Every structure is written in C-alpha cells, then in structure tokens.
Copies of this chain bind each other. A is one copy, B any other.
C-alpha cells in the first residue's frame, strides 16, 4: 500500500516515527539539494537534477518530499540556526574588541566550512528572499537590533570607535560571506599554485587587522 499521501502530508510514518531508511534518504536528498540549489537558485534547479545528484529516481525522491518547495524549505530551516548562532553568541559582558574579533572569526569559519549553505542563503536573498522574508523581518531583525544595542553600549562607554553598529554588522557579514559566495572569483584572482583553503588564513589575518584598527577607540 502506497503511503506517500499519509507520509508526505505530515512527514511521519503510520506509527508516528521516522524509519532509519527515511532518516537516511531524507538526509541524502537534502545534501544533494543543497548542492543543486546553492549552484542554481530555487527556480534554476530541477527535481531531476536533485534526484540525479542523490542517486535516486524522481518519483522516489518525491516520496520523501512531496514538492520541490518542501525540500528548499527544509534546507532553509536547518540553515537558520547555523546562520544566527554566531551572532547570538556575542556576549554583552565580554571584552568588546575580543567579542567582535571572535564573531568575525566564527563567521569566516562558517564560510569555509559551509560554503554551500552560504550560497543557498545568498541566492535566496538575491532573488528577493521570497521564502524567508518573514524570518528576516522578524527573528533576524530582532536579534540584530538587540546586538546593535550591545555594540552601541560599548561605543558609548568609549570601548569602541563610535560608528553605526548596523553597518558594522553588514560589513562583517559582507566581508566574511564573500569568501563563500564569490569563491570562484576569489580563487581565480588569487590563483596561486597550491590553493586548498589557504586563502582563508590570509583573509582571517587581513580582517582581524582591518577591524581591530578600524574599531580601536581613539585615545
């Protein structure tokens, strides 16, 4: 008996549990979909491509995710934690300079370790964020405003060179995510002989230098 309807609609088996196969195959599909969506955006990606990349037939894939949209949604959801965690981790009680440097470092590590996730996010934003705009306007904005206040407090206390905290966060996002999103260009321009992820070290050094000098309070 095909259970795809029951299964697909609530994402559960009859007994209310996910089988081992389901867990594994869903994971397989999400991995393949991440690759494809990151490279072509939502509209530019096809279910066939994802099924191919996952090594399964299209109807089989659709047994696990009833619609293309659902796969994308799943990816975005699990991406969000990865995306917001580093910002959440900024500690209002820590040393201002150290906190911001640590944040930059963490964001850069995410670009290095999860470049496809970064490109998935970038694609979504570039295309007008149709599927995550509410999260951006809600959860993200709230969190950003909160941390911007923390940073503003540090500046008011003379512990950081005063500047707009929102733009500071933008510039940290931009510079760090650039290494994942514009990876092709970065590699082409640097084009050293052996180029694994070596440029990430150079980037870390450069960014620490830039932001440390740029944010150090005037004495």
Contact = CB atoms under 8 A, between A and B. Distances in A.
28 contacts: A40-B41, A40-B44, A40-B127, A41-B127, A43-B44, A119-B126, A122-B122, A122-B181, A125-B182, A129-B184, A129-B185, A129-B188, A136-B189, A137-B188, A140-B188, A161-B213, A163-B205, A163-B206, A163-B210, A168-B206, A168-B210, A170-B189, A171-B206, A173-B182, A174-B177, A174-B178, A210-B210, A213-B215
A119 B129 CA distance: 13
Contacts of A119: 126
A203 B188 CA distance: 28
Q: Give the size range of A's interface with the partner.
A: 35 or more
Q: Taking the full assembly, how many copies of this chain does it contain?
A: 2
Contacts of A168: 206, 210
Interface string A157-178: 0000101101110110111011
